[in-house]
Amino acid sequence: MEKLDPFATETIQLYVPLEMGERRVTKLSLKPPVFGDLLRTDKHPAGSHAADLALLSALSGEPEEILKKLVPEDTAVCRIALSRAYQRFFSAINLFEEKEDERTDPPGAERPPTM
């Protein structure tokens, strides 16, 4: 499997364009996640659709109101992209390492002794 670039923008071509007033969105460009994006989910229950909507808005730069118009098929594709972002925050996935499970501590951190 090819290693993913942690700085790459991910583009999602929508099956059904989103429209709000004069605005028409045919694709979403998701920037690489940073901690500030995750903070946008704090006002929502973990794992909720509202939290996913907030993160999608943070990563795409699109307002939540227009993203609420996503059809299920586009929502499914977006949730796959969001799951990768959540995994980077909450699991052992580290796109900077050659092996994903090689290390879960930041560089230079010492692990506490095990008993």
Look-up of token digits 């946008």: 40
- Report how many domains make up the chain: 1
CA distances (Å), 60 to each of 19, 38, 57, 67, 99, in order? 15, 13, 5, 10, 28
| 102 has a pLDDT exceeding 90 | no
pLDDT in tens, 41-93: 999 999 999 999 999 999 999 999 999 999 999 999 999 999 999 998 888 77
Q: Is residue 110 one of the residues assigned to a domain?
A: no
Q: Is residue 7 one of the residues assigned to a domain?
A: no
Q: How long, in residues, is the chain?
A: 115
Q: Is residue 5 one of the residues assigned to a domain?
A: no
Q: What is the residue-wise DSSP string for the chain?
A: -PPPPTT--EEEEEEEEEEETTEEEEEEEEPPP-HHHHHTTTTS-TT-HHHHHHHHHHHH---HHHHTT--HHHHHHHHHHHHHHHHHHHSS--TTSSSTTS--SPTTPPPPPP-
pTM: 0.79
The residue with greater pLDDT, 2 or 57, is: 57
- Domain of 25 in residue numbering reads as 13-90
Q: Is residue 59 one of the residues assigned to a domain?
A: yes
Q: Is residue 52 one of the residues assigned to a domain?
A: yes
Cβ atoms of 20 and 69 within 8 Å: the answer is yes
- The band of 97, judged by pLDDT with boundaries at 50, 70 and 90, is confident
Q: Is residue 66 one of the residues assigned to a domain?
A: yes
